Structure 1
Amino acid sequence: MPANPIRPTLSLDAPGKRHGFLKLPYSRNDSAWGSVMIPLTVIVGAPGPTALLTGANHGDEYEGPIALQALAHEVEAEEVTGRLIIVPYFNFPAFTAASRVSPVDQVNLNRAFPGAPDGSVTQKIAHYFNDTLVPLADLVVDFHSGGKTLDFLPFACAHYLDDPVQQAACVAAVEAFNAPWSLMLREIDAVGMYDTAVEAQGKVFVTTELGGGGTASARTARIARRGLRNVLIHGGMLSGAPEVEPSVMLEMPDDACYHTAPASGLIEPLADLGDPIVPDQPLARIWATDCTGEQPVTVFAQRDGVLAARHFPGLVQRGDTLAVLAVPQR
């Protein structure tokens, strides 16, 4: 297998705080010998564990980049036990285009793992993280929100894993993050995900969904910044006391939590995020967009729970995820 062409422009091991890039050669029409330059900060303090911290896995999600830029700016090596590898704009081409997938190759980074060293730009990024950076890490935090098409209750989450010890460590880190909601997440499609690749390597993994709509709010940015510091304190990499507020633990026990739009059209929401839901409760109406006078299609809850996520734009296409329920953990 060929070597991955990505190279850091700074040492990943030298003590101190350094800012640089992950440099990926990329020949294209406007730059024959050009490169994709992914911003990178590495902070190495006293001996200890390594945290790999990423945002903008999808380029239209902003809470992670805000929290990671702040961390890279504010924290000095003298405050760190171990090593922080900070990548605010994981999928840099998608971030600069404010798009979910890369405009370079139309690949979704979070479905591209384990990647390929001789693949497209996104596949090379995935491979470098999978084979070079993730193996260095003890703790991995990957920030997400809903982007332009979804809106979420602000939560940190862990996944159901085969290894109970690893799952318990991930849950403890999620609880330490202390988002307003914490969730045991059942992914709708886990194939090729960064989450799956990281967990397969036995790492402690925390991910989030901290809002959506293709922007950040003051509240969700605060949650991201506070949660990041909390989980690094929990991991022994920063000192001090965590900032703790009440948090509700949720879980997704089955696939009935997901509700798919059966038709395309104009959404009339009938429930808001955080609302308690009972079985067969109407969640939304979908109205025709090409005529008047037609009966709307009503989507009913398949189970009880709390409305944890919803489609964000006012128009929906058949097959889109319209609503997601979660239930308080028993």
Structure 2
Amino acid sequence: MTDTGLRPSPISATVDFAAEGVQHGFLRLPYSRDDSAWGSVMVPITVVRNGKGPTALLTGGNHGDEYEGPIALFDLARSLRADEVSGAVIIVPAMNYPAFLAGTRTSPIDRGNMNRSFPGRPDGTVTEKIADYFQRVLLPMADLVLDFHSGGKTLDFLPFCAAHILPNKQQEAKAFEFVTAFAAPYSMKMLEIDAVGMYDTAAEDMGKIFITTELGGGGTTTARSAAIAKRGTMNVLRHAGIVSCAVDSSPTRWLDMPDGRCFSFAEQGGLIEPTIDLGEAVAEDAVIARIYPTGKTGEAPREIRAAMDGILCARHFPGLVKSGDCVGVVAVVTN
């Protein structure tokens, strides 16, 4: 394997991360292609710095078909003033910018899933080069990372803010303090199906405080989910002491994903009929969906059953599923 550890990133920033004030610019990645021989991928970035204090790295568009984060962060980038800040706020509304422009989960350039591409490579694909820049340049600057997600085109979630159970219990406790401060309608102790290559894992392995969200889905947004994202962003900055104002707190319902029994998957493709809606109670062995074969009439649907008690916190969104698709996720209510 080639050692790329000492190679410089091909990405150059048009902002000065050490400068005081508000700067709007780009992370410019050279990208030669058929329609632009000396072209570039231009990832928008805003840096707001004023005096001493923590640094927050705020990101959206890790997956390009998830919109609450970009809405909240484009809005924050235009409105946050330097005199409101003690420390620094680095805002990247659309991490995987090619995917964001295409409205797809992965990059149309290389099919790269940004959230499975860390630590990245400076000599890799476009997605890997962007991940490498975050890994080696942006994440080391940050004390706190907030990365927005929602269900995209294929999932729908109850609106929650989340952090992970970690080996470092002090780091874990601080992360859940920020989840509480975000004050989403639901708060989650989250379990990942596969954490290898994730932005989350990269940040947590550096000892950073990392929190994330799932705020709806279906490849769109709502007035409610966008408002949750905007309010939660400011609450995180307030809790960090970067913005001097009291946290706008509200009650949250705590959920837990204790193990792999939370997830239900389709073993065959077909037409899906939900039998339980998001937020409704689920009993172990209850039918949460039916999948009808679509090749012939008269055949019985396959029933998808819950493996545990709880509430339905996520579901497949489109009407058709394929074998292996996640059909539903059950979480345990802990308060």
1:150 to 146, 149, 155: 155
**Equivalent residue for 2:24?**
19
2:282 to 277, 280, 285: 277
Q: Percent identity?
A: 58
C-alpha separation in 1, matches of 2:233 and 2:216: 16
C-alpha separation in 2, matches of 1:262 and 1:160: 29
Residue ranges of structure 1 left out of the alignment (5+ in a row): none
Aligned residues: 330
C-alpha separation in 1, matches of 2:268 and 2:288: 14
**Equivalent residue for 2:251?**
246
CA drift at 1:263:
1.2
**Equivalent residue for 1:103?**
108
RMSD: 0.7
**Equivalent residue for 2:231?**
226
C-alpha separation in 1, matches of 2:334 and 2:143: 27
Describe how 1:122-133 pairs up with structure 2 within 5 A.
Answer: 122-133=127-138
Amino acid of the structure 1 residue aligned with 2:247: P
**Equivalent residue for 2:291?**
286
CA drift at 1:146:
0.3
Residue ranges of structure 2 left out of the alignment (5+ in a row): none
1:72 aligns with 2:57: no
**Equivalent residue for 2:185?**
180
**Equivalent residue for 2:219?**
214
CA drift at 1:242:
1.7
**Equivalent residue for 1:113?**
118
Amino acid of the structure 1 residue aligned with 2:258: P
1:163 aligns with 2:173: no
Deviations, residues 117-170 of structure 1 (Å, cap 9, x unaligned): 000100000000011100000000000000000000000000010000000010
Deviation >2 Å, runs of 4+: none
C-alpha separation in 2, matches of 1:178 and 1:118: 40
Deviations, residues 70-112 of structure 1 (Å, cap 9, x unaligned): 1111110000010000000110000000000000001100000
C-alpha separation in 1, matches of 2:24 and 2:65: 23
Give the SS at the match of 2:151: coil
1:57 to 62, 79, 100: 62
Amino acid of the structure 2 residue aligned with 1:41: T
C-alpha separation in 1, matches of 2:241 and 2:305: 46
CA drift at 1:329:
2.2
C-alpha separation in 2, matches of 1:189 and 1:207: 16
CA drift at 1:47:
1.0
C-alpha separation in 1, matches of 2:243 and 2:294: 53
C-alpha separation in 1, matches of 2:260 and 2:270: 24
1:258 to 259, 263, 272: 263
